Amino acid sequence: MASVTISLRHQPAAEDQPCGVCGAAFVPAGDSGSRVLGLKSGTQEFFFLMCGGCHSKWAHGAVVTVRSQTA
């Protein structure tokens, strides 16, 4: 079985980026609720930006589909 590393952290960005779940456009540096979820397995690594609302839904058990952001 492959091991998977998961991280969740604030990661402000200087440029506009859409939420990886709902697609809402916002500036993460100005959104105190934005989070970046990172998944790593072997040599593959994925990052997903989530706005505060989508992060809250996911953290409380909602299933979400995310689109990867560029690293």
pLDDT of residue 31: 62
Q: Record the pTM.
A: 0.70
pLDDT of residue 62: 92
What are the helix (H) ranges across 1-71?
52-59
Mean pLDDT by 10 residues, the chain (71 residues): 80 74 74 77 85 86 79 50
Q: Give the model confidence (pLDDT) of 42-51 as tens digits.
A: 888 888 888 8
CB-facing half-sphere around the CA of 30: CA atoms within 13 A? 7
d(CA 7, CA 24): 22
Phi-psi label, residue 61: left if phi above 0, alpha if psi -120 to 50, beta otherwise: left
**Dmax (CA) of the chain:** 40
